[in-house]
Amino acid sequence: MYNSEIIGCGHFVPEQVITNHDLSKMMDTTHEWIVQRSGIEERHWVTGDVSTTDLALKACEDAIKSAGIDKKEIDCLMFATLSPDFDFPGAACILQPKLGLSEIPAIDVRQQCSGFLYGMSMADAFIKVGQYKTILLVGAEIHSKGMDKTTRGRDVSVLFGDGAGAVVIRRKEVKDKAKDSHIFSTHLFADGAFAKDLWLESPGMGNGPERITVADLEAGKQYPQMNGKKVFANAVRRMAECLILALDTNKLKLEDIDLFLFHQANLRINQMLAQELKIPEEKIFNTIQKFGNTTAATIPMGMSEAVKAGKLKKGSLVASAAFGSGFTWASAVYRW
């Protein structure tokens, strides 16, 4: 059986920066209120007709350059997103020709904030069984076009930003599993009983005879809805559980990990997780302060930023965990 490793990463965010002070001009909120509840100070939003696949393209090009490969070596494309360009076809199919690729499989992963780790798990499995050799995995989101930017929607809209992150995952023959760079294991979970605690209700085929009605629009059902307290409590508990499982599976301890790259939903969630597990603050790399929550893009964006900051180095042992809509949650351990 083969193993897989991440050989390159990249990210991209749109140029426009939206600060908390900018949001205070759109809705009844303040910089202090947002920072206290989420840790977010600013985020990037697209302008004009920029699409999710446009952001993904830039991140993919950055990752391919980082990996030092010819894009023709890519034999599978995977795209994690909750904000595709269109309902159908899938975002990966829209991205594929923009990358100058054709015929290789183009797969969408729709697991929201856990999407990147779900995609990473799938890529690792594909490579382990020998089906593919070099997989390009991207997470990209545009939230700014789909949020209620009034006081009614502030609890959700202040949290999200636009951006993309990508990695190249490649087959590797591992000689020393303790020391060689590779993905050790991934762990995926879901509990759909909580689906309506974090969801976008309309438009949808489950809404009756019509995907969306005037009444739906007036009620704001076309915007994301979140039960914040329930999401927060479950995120801390589930991320801790699956993180410990990942470590136990690989006979590792928390102190063995060099860097923790968690999903960036809320800085307070990551701080609570660190407090409960007694993880030193300097071992956690957070980006939410300047990017907000970019759902499927947060972890690969964090990888790319950590490399550039000198925090993620060759040989680093890394642990990641994510939690999001579904509810879904996931974890992974890998050596860079």
- Kindly list the catalytic residues: 113, 263, 293
- Give dist(CA 180, CA 167) in Å, integer: 18
Identify any residues that bridge with 171 across adjacent strands, giving them in sequence order.
4
Identify any residues that bridge with 18 across adjacent strands, giving them in sequence order.
43
- Give dist(CA 114, CA 35) in Å, integer: 24
Can you say how many angstroms the Cα of residue 31 is from the centroid of all Cα atoms in its chain? 25
Write out the DSSP string of 252-270: --GGG-SEEEE--S-HHHH
Q: Based on DSSP, count helices (H) and strands (E) in the chain, helices before strands.
A: 11, 13
- Cβ atoms within 10 Å of 177's Cβ, excluding its own: 11
Give ∠ CA 36-41-43 in degrees, rounded to 5.
Answer: 135
What percent of the residues of the chain are helix, what percent strand, and what percent coil, each to the nearest 5?
40, 25, 35
Instruction: Extract the runs of DSSP E, i.e. beta strands, from 174-275.
Output: 182-190, 198-199, 225-226, 259-262
- Give dist(CA 312, CA 289) in Å, integer: 19
Tokens of 80: 């994690």
